[in-house]
Structure 1
């Protein structure tokens, strides 16, 4: 897609991109690292169990070639002879194979971790395409592999010549040693030479592993358009989400405005804030905020309140405190009970006075008891 759009892969891969690549079996792998582990641990296993394997083979062959007349003609005796012969070699050979298996698993999962993908194991027609095969043969990855192969040949050949020179006289001395001592000695020389040659692969692995990790990360990089497309697919189109949020907000405001006519009082700033309060003793133990708003929404709340003869009381400090400390549908904070109670008492007395059932209430105290921590 980056090639088609002309954009460069400059963006870091997202978590989803990395997870998807793992599902496809695309993880950083270094064949040289796996090979190095197998070779080195094979040499170590040969040093640990090589002598036992050699002794077991020597005894097994000696036993198989020294059958007496009765054992030769007894058809059932052969199986017991095989069991006796193989019993000496089974344990050291099993440990040798086990060490190599563990080394192979560790070496091949050390970079990129353990990952199994059915999608990667499935056959693909694209892998059989001659054109893609030619591109891989002459691509940059093939050039890197060629350089590694040349470097491996030079290192291994150089160390091999050096080791032959170091062990030259010891190798010649094997011809005059007695069997089975010469076999064990030759195996020891072979194991140490094998270990030394295997260690040369550490140099290749130290170069290849960081390169494979860098190359894999580079291949996972994304274009800016890919990041945007992924965000849209996973999170949704930002424009659609914004439209949904706007619709939800408008619906919430409409529901809120429908509650204003039932308010007992609307307290105002008076120019910027409006908060509608309702005190229903049957449903709540404290007054509730049923609507609130700033600027245009505050003006709309006051307009609806006037149209439905809901008392409007100016109290800037209380209005700001209620607006910033409560949400629509919440009960007022306990610290504001006294201040709101004074407002409601004034409103109820005013309603009685308007109906001719009482005296005109005293003007509401402008300095209502509001804690300093709730003032805004």
Structure 2
């Protein structure tokens, strides 16, 4: 296993995918806090004003009739139910807004990943020894600095809010309820916007830090990358050996095809191309073997042992050598090849011509 000091390479896509499947994902709690604040802000300043009027009317009716509610026959119970319903009608939409935004933040951070393993109880979460190891291991030191920085930012924001609120509070003395309510609403809106802006700054830094720490934990050494490549793509040495074996088998098949060739066209020493043509089968002559230098010499040797005619024709041999195995010769070479094959057939007849010197 490589030491942590050796893990200098960025994690591979396979490593990132494996970590994701294991539930190791980036999750910023500060981003969740920001969405909770934003949801509360939206609830108080956007949803609450539309619900307060109905809530106040319901509570006024209950208070006005409080002295006439019969204690028997469930009268008090009915009044209590109405009060609870009025309170829920005020609280549920705001709570639902906060919950929806928090869920959205969680799903956006995790890419809609739901990992069942994270729901199972783990001993290290409740073990005092494991908790002490986490603290002593230094992993909480950056979190401590982060908490101190968060405290300092919010302290500065609260100081700024207080600094602006004190002069405003002095002007509230003696105001009518309407202007007083507007002034208090503006002050609350400004304070909430400042708090949300500060939390947005903290959440942005926390997301960056969490991603940086996540990628650092998943870093790999060069040996890890090599092992992963061997596991996924196969050992390069084994693949090279397999490639060599396939090439050897293909060469053996090619040399075996020389034994049944119709003719071997040569350069005469640098190139050798074996052609096969069967009368009446149809199609053009086909290349069944080819080679140069040592391979060409081996083709000529096999052809001589198996009494396959060898015909020197340097231009044709060089042209046919560029074509792939098992391919039929192109039309531009039909005439020359037909002449050679006709010559070979004459050789095979009783009393046929002799081969030209090779």
- What is the TM-score when the length of structure 2 is the normalising length? 0.84
Match of 1:345 among 336, 342, 346: 342
After TM superposition, list the pairs within 5 Å mapping 1:320-339 onto structure 2: 320-327=318-325, 329-339=326-336
Structure 1 equivalent of residue 351 of structure 2: 356
Structure 2 equivalent of residue 2 of structure 1: 2
Residue deviations 1:174-226 (CA, integer Å, cap 9, x gap): 78678899778756644442232121122222322222222222222111111
Check 1:153–1:315 CA distance in 2 against 1; reply closer, same or farther (3 A cut): same
Please, which runs of 5 or more residues in structure 1 have no aligned partner?
365-376
Distance 2:194 2:225 in 1: 48
Please, which runs of 5 or more residues in structure 2 have no aligned partner?
none
| 8 A contact 1:9–1:223 mirrored in 2 | yes
Distance 1:281 1:99 in 2: 85
| 8 A contact 1:40–1:195 mirrored in 2 | no
Distance 2:59 2:182 in 1: 15
Residue deviations 1:45-85 (CA, integer Å, cap 9, x gap): 32101223433433333233333636654538965984698
Computed over aligned residues only, the root mean square deviation of the Cα atoms, in angstroms, reads 3.4
Structure 1 equivalent of residue 207 of structure 2: 209
Structure 2 equivalent of residue 373 of structure 1: none
Distance 1:196 1:319 in 2: 85
| 8 A contact 1:263–1:310 mirrored in 2 | yes
Residue deviations 1:143-202 (CA, integer Å, cap 9, x gap): 111111111111112211221232235556778678899778756644442232121122
Match of 1:237 among 209, 216, 235: 235
Aligned length: 356
1:349 CA drift (Å) = 3.0
Distance 1:131 1:340 in 2: 87
Please say if 1:253 is aligned against 2:248.
no
**Worse-matched range after superposition: 110-119 or 143-152:** 110-119
1:255 CA drift (Å) = 2.1
| 8 A contact 1:40–1:199 mirrored in 2 | no
Distance 2:340 2:92 in 1: 90
Check 1:270–1:42 CA distance in 2 against 1; reply closer, same or farther (3 A cut): farther
- What is the TM-score when the length of structure 1 is the normalising length? 0.80
| 8 A contact 1:265–1:310 mirrored in 2 | yes
